[in-house]
Amino acid sequence: MDWMAWTWPTAIFFIVIAGLLITFSVLAIKFPETPRRGILRIETTRGDRLFITLVGSAFINLAWLGIVGAQQPYALIVCLAYALAVFRWV
Amino acid sequence: MNKTVNQKAWFLVLPVLLLVAFSAVIPLMTVVNYSVQDTFGQNQFFWAGLAWFEEMLASERMWNALWRQMMFSGIILVIQVPLGIFVALNMPKSGAWSTVCLVLMSLPLLIPWNVVGTIWQIFGRVDIGLLGYTLDALGLEYNYTQDTLDAWVTLIVMDVWHWTSLVALLAFAGLKSIPDAYYQAAKIDQASRWKVFRYIELPKMSGVLTIAILLRFMDSFKIYTEPFVVTGGGPGNATTLLSIDLVKMALGQFDLGPAAAFSIMYFLVILLVSWVFYTVMTNLDKQEG
């Protein structure tokens, strides 16, 4: 961990993202799906929805930090709701 | 017919994956890592949590730079896209003149950024530059080193000079791909010039134009060298665009943490806009196909 001053929180952050990417890749290979059109009127697959979720969550976290303050666990709850909405309706 | 399933070709992608890992993924991870720490050099790091993000989100300096950047990208897009289409529409479609035009149009694209900056920096000088001297002789007070408006006009004119050809060349390629039959049909229907443009040329160019807008947005949003050489971000902070401010913060002040937090937000904006453009572009293709 000393190499390039890596820290555990950043390591966990990247492990979670890598884990998600691997899981979704495996899912895409094991259970292929046809893209669908949701409320954004664009064709999306599970992977696209994951991307929308991750980028959206980054903005939600930043907005929370800027408007509410550094209480990220609450922001993560909002992100989770957002993720569910994206996977259900987008 | 059954297709043979063979996934071994994926291994051929490995070298690219390795290259991208070292040139993009690992540096990006490093930036994320720096954004939550503080350093005073000598490779000593201290945990700072989300403090830098909070500081950056509350920083007027960053919002001002972002606002200036949006203004810059917006203005150059509003000028370059219509101008590029106008130039492409008026270029000869075939023959020797077409080639001459194409070569002339691509010349500005071949010049390195810092050379473009140097050219305009000298061109605009009141004492020795043709542009500055002429404007001064005409009685116009022009000084891009002291006047905010002059500095902005110089940067925008420079970018228009440098990059309009890209839009024009892409639009020209789009125009060339329209079969003659469309124009003949329009002629039979006695369509006006405007209607030919609105209902034939513009829809057929939409794909390449989206690429042109995307490229111009991305390039202008991360512009560094040209304004750095011409105005250095001045007068004051009037032309300090995002990347100039970022470099000042990261290398000038050696504030690695805040600069890393700043970079991540900068990256997220570019990522979002690129994704929107890409999605619009691919969905347009699907609708056409």
Chain B residues touching A72 at Cβ < 8 A:
50
Structural domain for B245, as ranges: 62-288
CA-nearest of B218, B220, B268 to B72 is B220
Cβ contact (<8 Å) for A5 and B268? no
Residues B173-221: tens digit of each pLDDT = 999 988 989 999 999 998 889 998 988 888 888 888 888 998 899 889 9
Q: What is residue B89's predicted lDDT score, i.e. its pLDDT? A: 92
- As to burial, measured by CB atoms within 10 angstroms (0-12 exposed, 13-18 middle, 19+ buried), residue B155 is buried
Round the average pLDDT of chain B to a whole number and report it.
89
DSSP, collapsed to helix, strand or coil, labels residue A35 as coil
Query: Is residue B1's pLDDT more than 60?
Result: no
**For testing the chain B interface, which of A15, A26, A54, A65 should be mutated: the one with the most B CBs within 10 Å?**
A65
Q: Say if B4 falls within a structural domain.
A: no
Q: Are A90 and A38 in contact (CB under 8 A)?
A: yes
- Report the share of chain A in percent with pLDDT over 90: 46
Interface ipTM: 0.89
Residue B289, pLDDT above cutoff 60 = no
Taking an 8 Å cut-off on Cβ atoms, the answer to whether A42 and B283 are in contact is: yes
Q: How many residues does chain B have?
A: 289
Q: Quick one: what percent of chain B has pLDDT higher than 70? A: 97
The verdict on residue B27 lying in a domain is no
Buried b (16+ CB within 10 A) or exposed e, B48-57: bebbbbbbbb
d(Cα A50, Cα A87) in Å, to the nearest integer? Answer: 8
More confident residue, A2 or B142: B142
Residue A24 Cα, gap to closest chain B Cα (Å): 17
> B65, B227 in Cβ contact below 8 A?
no
Cα–Cα distance measured from residue B182 to residue B73, given in angstroms and rounded to the nearest whole number: 35
For the cut 90, the answer to whether the pLDDT of residue B256 exceeds it is no
| Mutant choice from A1, A6, A12 vs B, greatest count of B C-beta within 10 A | A6
Nearest CB partner across the interface for A70, out of B33, B54, B279? B54
Output the pLDDT for position B2: 66
The average pLDDT across B249-270 equals 90
- Residue B69 binned pLDDT confidence (cut-offs 50, 70, 90): very high
Judge contact between B238 and B148, C-beta under 8 A.
yes
Looking up residue B209, the CATH number of its domain turns out to be 1.10.3720.10
User: B68 CA to chain A: closest CA distance, Å?
Assistant: 20
Report the domain count for chain B.
1
- Which residues of B are less than 8 Å from A43 in CB distance? 283, 286
Q: Provide the shortest C-alpha distance from residue A41 to chain B (in Å).
A: 9
> Which chain B residues are closer than 8 Å to A68 by Cβ?
none
CB nearest A43 (choices: B45, B272, B286): B286
pLDDT attached to residue B288 = 58
**pLDDT mean over A47-57:** 93
Query: What is the pTM assigned to this prediction?
Result: 0.83
**Alpha helix (H) ranges present in chain B?**
14-20, 26-35, 51-57, 60-90, 96-110, 113-123, 130-137, 148-176, 180-188, 193-196, 202-221, 225-230, 242-247, 256-288
Task: Kindly give the interhelix angle for B202-221 and B148-176, rounded to the nearest 10 degrees.
Answer: 140
Q: What pLDDT does A12 receive? A: 92
Backbone CA torsion sign across B2, B6, B7, B10: negative
